[in-house]
Amino acid sequence: MGALWIAHVTVTDDEAYGKYAALATQAIADHGGRFIARGGRFVQLEGRERPRNVVARFDSVEDAEKCYYSDAYQEALNHARGASERELMIVETDE
C-alpha cells in the first residue's frame, strides 16, 4: 500500500525555511517521494489553518518513515526548526 506524507506549515522565517525546502525536496525524491501538492489553494473546513500544505506520495509508510529519519532529511529539518510551526503525518493509502 502507498502512503501520503502530509505537512501543514506556517513559515516564520522565509530564508531558513527556503534552505529546508531545498534540502527536503532532494531527500524526499531520493527516497522515492513524489510531490502531489505544494502550497496552492486550499479550503480549511475544520481545525487550525496553516497557509502552506504539502502532500507527497511514497510507495509505503516504511519508505516515508525512512525518508523522515534519514540523515539528509534530518539535516533539512534543522533549518525548519525555529523557522516554522508545523504538523507532519504519514497516512497509509488504499492504493
Range of the domain at 35: 3-92
* Contacting residues for 37 by C-beta, under 8 A, at least 6 apart: 53, 54, 55
pLDDT on residue 64: 98
Identity of the amino acid at 74: Q
Q: 16 φ, ψ to 5°?
A: -65, -40
- For each of the chain's 95 residues, which pLDDT tens digit applies? 899 999 999 999 999 999 999 999 999 999 999 999 998 999 999 999 999 999 999 999 999 999 999 999 999 999 999 999 999 999 999 87
CATH number at residue 45: 3.30.70.100
Q: Cα(first)–Cα(last) distance of the chain, in Å? A: 6
Q: Angle 71-80/61-69 helices, nearest 10 degrees?
A: 70
The total of structural domains in the chain comes to: 1
